[in-house]
Chains A and B, each alone.
Chain A
Amino acid sequence: MITLFCLLLPVLAAVVASPLTRKFGHNSAWFLALAPACSFFYFASHLPEIANGEVVTGGYAWVPSLNLSFSWFIDGLSLTFALLITGIGTLIVLYAGGYMKGHPQQGRFFAFILLFMGSMLGVVVSDSFLMLFVYWELTSITSFLLIGFDHTREAARRSALQALVITGGGGLLLLAGLLFLWNISGITQLSLLIHGGDLVRESPFYLAALLLILGGCFTKSAQFPFHAWLPNAMEAPTPVSAYLHSATMVKAGVYLLMRLNPVLGQTPAWEILLPFFGGITLVVGTFLSLRQTDLKLMLAYTTMASLGLLVMLTGFDTQHAISAAVLYLVAHSLFKGALFMVAGIVDHEAGTRDVTRLGGLGSAMPITFGAALLAALSMGGLPLFFGFLAKEEIYYALAGGNPRAILFTAVAVVGNALMFAIAFAVALKPFLGKPVKTPKHAHEGPVLLWLGPVVLAGLGLLAGLFSSVAHRFISSPMASAIEDRPVQVTMSTVPHLGVPLLLSVVTVALGALVFWRLAQARMLMTKFIDALGPGPDRAFDAFIAGLVKFSGAVTRFVQPGRMDVYVTATFVLVAVTLLVPPIVYGELPALPAWPADVMLHEWVFLAIAAIGVVAVLTASNRLTAIVALGIQGFAVAVLFLLFGAPDLSFTQFMVETLSVVILALVMTRLRLMPSDHRPLLEKLGDGTVAVACGLGFMLLLLKATQGTFNNSLTEFFNAYSKVIAHGANVVNVIIVDFRGTDTLGEIAVVMITGLAILALIRIRSGSSTLKPRDNDPDAPEGEGA
């Protein structure tokens, strides 16, 4: 119960965010941060029991008949993520209070970011597949809202859409993958599935399920070649970049890979695909980050690289690799969140994020500088810091004798070295050197701004210093959950001699070299990347443009906008449906015998109907034709009456009357020629279709009446309509009682049709000045209409 409340707390806070912000301005951040803070402390209170290997579960039945439940499952992996989400979330809300101060839509921003927090929390604690998927998609949607927050800018809108298309598309793959897992194992709960891995691995559908799930994870975690959306997402305000696009959301893919490691891991496919894509992403990410001069973009590409490293380690699947992934994931969330916030402060206070136009801010912003330095030391993987532990463990895990290990070690060394260079480029360049004139006169930001980076960067140091505590409560339980067996992480910050330390030294040396020659490295990289040609970002644009073109072509083909085409197509289809099956399957009805006992008055009404039809065909004037059609309909209605269907006949009378009235009214409105001017050939064609339809219906009815009539329904309704439904008119009882839900649907259709027709009549041709409104909710009323 309390767990559920803590899961929903951010969402509840999102509801009150807007009114609170209207009342208290940016100070509402202090109230709103209480929501994630409470959740954080609640989750933290479970640390001891989770560390002892217990799990927290609970939930409610959702659709018991489909075995669906809203249930959560918190083990070491979920708990670490939950703590990161709520802990960093608290700091981000405070930071956003300072960063977005005075923004007219600050309340909306808080609401979005808290909604995201609730969704992300849901992803990591979900037990049932469906719940996981729903929350997964919610993070995509909230991410879309946050990237496009500054919706007046074209670039922000494009990036938001790109992120939604890529991660949403990946979400569909994930859904398919989860359905596969469900079909293979018959299990819909992660907590049960992780103990049934063998079943999945031995299934012939294993590879399909793996590829689909990887599709979901790789798009979410921005693995090459699906990475384009992540750097573009930097269009979002900096709190979003720090929170969603470095610390939490992009790690959802990594989370799922870790979660499913006991199920899908330990196979050749897993151990080839993950390190391969992860390694490429690591190298590409660091290379791309090197060419950037925008602080946020530099960080964004290193985030991509870090995600690649995490995927690579997860795929290595040894105990040390998993431990390394765990350590690096936690370290990365701390230092990258801090560095993003630092970049935001610099941007906020100095007015630019371009690293070449910044310098010497250290004396003006000492606290920010300090936080940046601490974070960079952790990112660079220097001793005493948590990042160092992570890097040591990475080398410990990768370093082995075989060629594969050497290859990936080399990849990791290059990646880490470049990340080292970028870390110090972000943390030192803006602050050291001689002061450069910046667009705004820079000074230290308010407490709301620097609190977040200071806490996160400080934690990076504390976790490194007191590594045994961190391992006991965070790293070991998390690694155990990923491996599905007890694992002890023991890496300490005291360097011990060996290959890993040597590799660390090489990394730092290489990184320092690149940092020293950063400008040259940047130029070299720019030349190199330009030589490679356009990347996936352009491909995405081409894909979307092609899609729009294709759907346009399809629409123009299917919907040419000519009524006669639609009507002809519809009736040709009707005729084909009615005529082809009986002819193909030889089910044509036998010719009926000539009726013997037809009364005179029945002949008369039949004759009237025939005269009506002839009159329709020969009428020189459309109005006459409509009235003649009505006569035909009336004659048929009388026949219904004669053969004992009063309700049907009654309705037919009214429908005929109203159709004549409405058709006549339509004619007067459309201002058609009074008579028909189709050329003979067209008349013949239309006539053929009409005759074919009529013939088809006739055959159908003959066939239906020639079969033996099953009157079990008749008997049922006759027997029960009075007893159960208290009505003697069986037809009406069926309509309003036995099949009442059908009727409800039908009257809803009648209502909607009425609305649609009214709208059609109101939009008159000639006065169609309706333009799609500029889709801007903040535009003043009446503008753009």
Chain B
Amino acid sequence: MNTLIFRTVAPFLTALMIVFSIFVLLRGHNEPGGGFIGGLIAASAFAIYGIAYGVAAVRRALWFHPLSIAGAGLMLSVVSGLISAFAGVPFMTGLWIYPKLFGVEVPLATVISFDIGVYLVVVGSITSIALALEEKDDA
């Protein structure tokens, strides 16, 4: 699988796919997309990078263990749900704020952080499975 063409293209492809996955994640609220699809795209990106350069390279690039990423995502989602409890509304109620950044109104919501959590869980879990499978029996 590690032909010259593939090895040359893989880093660009991976980078592009990850950027695209984040784009898909963020636009999901109004256009087709969302955390789940974005996570799948990012996971495929890491799979491609792994096939081209080996598992060790992906693990180095990820810095965290994929399952830690998934765990952090789950935590983020739970916390996003819990925030509403402090506002005195039922669990998982979406809360919105509209801060002005550089004169532009940016709508932010616990719904978005919840979706980011979904993204992270999907990326982490699937990457962790894929990497474990790609790893050769080195033990």
Residues of A within 8 A of B (CB): 646-647, 650-651, 654-655, 657-658, 661-662, 665-666, 669, 725-729, 731-733, 735-737, 740-741, 743-744, 747-748, 750-751, 753-755, 757-758, 761-762, 764, 767
- Per-position contact with A for B81-109: 1 when CB-CB < 8 Å, else 0? 10000000001101010000000000101
Residue from B32, B122, B132, B133 within 8 A of A747 (CB atoms): B122
User: Which residues of B sit under 8 angstroms from A736, Cβ to Cβ?
Assistant: 29, 34-35, 94, 111, 114-115, 118
Contact status A764-B40, CB under 8 Å: no
B126 at the interface (CB under 8 A from A): yes
Asked if B70 CB lies within 8 Å of chain A CBs, one says yes
| B28/A754 in contact, CB under 8 A | no
Interface stretch among B4-12, B41-49, B56-64? B41-49
Given contacts A647-B32, A733-B29, A764-B139, contact A654 B128 (CB under 8 A): no
Complex Cα distance A729/B125, Å? 26
> How many Å from the CB of B6 to the closest CB on chain A?
14
Cross-chain contact of B96 among A655, A662, A726 (Cβ < 8 A)? A726
A647–B125 alpha-carbon span in the complex (Å): 21
A725, A731, A733, A740: most-surrounded residue (chain B CB, <10 A): A740
11 A-B pairs with C-beta separation under 8 A: A647-B32, A647-B34, A669-B133, A726-B96, A736-B34, A747-B73, A747-B118, A750-B125, A751-B71, A754-B129, A762-B132
Q: How far is the CA of A755 from the CA of B132 in the complex (A)?
A: 11
In the bound complex, what is the Cα–Cα distance between A665 and B47 (angstroms)?
A: 11
User: Nearest Cβ distance between residue A738 and chain B, in whole angstroms?
Assistant: 9
CB distance from B36 to the nearest CB of A (A): 6
* Shortest Cβ distance from residue B2 to the other chain A in the assembled complex, whole angstroms: 14
- Candidate in A654, A735, A747 with the most chain B CB atoms within 10 angstroms: A747
Q: Interface of chain A, helix or strand or loop or mixed? A: helix
| Contact A740-B34, Cβ < 8 Å, known A729-B28, A747-B74, A762-B132 | no
Contacts of B134 in A (CB 8 A): 665
By the criterion CB–CB under 8 Å, are A751 and B125 in contact? yes
Q: Cα distance A651–B40 when bound, in Å?
A: 8
Instruction: For residue B118, give the distance in angstroms from its CB to the closest CB of chain A.
Output: 5
Q: B3 on the interface (CB 8 Å rule)?
A: no
In-complex Cβ contact of B77 among A729, A747, A767 (8 A): A747
Count of chain B residues near A, Cβ 8 A? 50
Question: Whole-angstrom distance from the CB of B23 to the nearest CB of chain A?
Answer: 13
Spell out B's residues near A (CB within 8 Å): 24, 28-37, 40-41, 43-44, 47, 51, 66-67, 70-71, 73-74, 77-78, 81, 91-92, 94, 96, 107, 109, 111, 114-115, 117-118, 121-122, 124-126, 128-130, 132-134, 137, 139
Distance A352 CA – B115 CA, assembled complex (angstroms): 69
| Distance A650 CA – B24 CA, assembled complex (angstroms) | 10
Q: How far is the CB of A747 from chain B (nearest CB, A)?
A: 4
Highest count of chain A CB atoms <10 Å: which of B32, B66, B118:
B32
User: Are A651 and B37 touching (Cβ within 8 A)?
Assistant: yes
Contact present for B32 and A729 (CB under 8 Å) = yes
Contacting pair A748 B128 (CB below 8 A): no
Instruction: Give B122's nearest chain A residue, CB to CB.
Output: A750
A735 to B114, CA, bound (A): 10
Residues of A within 8 A of B43 (CB): 658
Count CB-based A-B contacts (< 8 Å). 138
* B-chain residues with CB within 8 Å of residue A658 when the two chains form the complex: 40, 43-44, 47, 126, 130
- Expressed in whole angstroms, the Cα–Cα distance for A655 and B133 within the complex equals 17
- Closest residue to B107 on the A side, CB-wise? A726
Q: Are B67 and A650 in contact (CB under 8 A)?
A: no
- A732 near B74: Cβ-Cβ < 8 Å: no
Which B-chain residue is minimally distant from A646 (CB atoms)? B32
Nearest chain B residue, comparing its CB with the CB of A722 = B30
Centre residue among A669, A729, A732 by max chain B CB count within 10 A: A732
- Are A747's CB and B121's CB within 8 A? yes
**Within the complex, what minimum Cβ distance (angstroms) separates A320 from chain B?**
59
- Interface pair B40/A666, CB less than 8 Å apart: no
| B33 engages A741 (CB within 8 Å) | no
For the complex, give the distance between the alpha carbons of A750 and B69 in Å: 13
Q: 4 additional contacts, CB 8 Å, given A654-B37, A740-B111, A758-B67?
A: A651-B36, A662-B129, A744-B77, A744-B78
Interface centre among B36, B41, B111, B124, by most chain A C-beta atoms within 10 angstroms, is B36
CA distance A493 to B125 in the complex (A): 77
Question: CB distance A741 to B81 under 8 Å?
Answer: yes
Closest to A667 in B: B133
Q: How far is the CA of A736 from the CA of B81 in the complex (A)?
A: 10
Q: Chain A nearest CB: distance from B125 CB in Å? A: 3
Complexed CA–CA distance, A665 and B91 (Å): 40
8 Å CB contact of B31 from A662, A729, A748, A758: A729
Contact of A750 among B29, B107, B121 (CB under 8 A): B121
CA distance A186 to B77 in the complex (A): 41
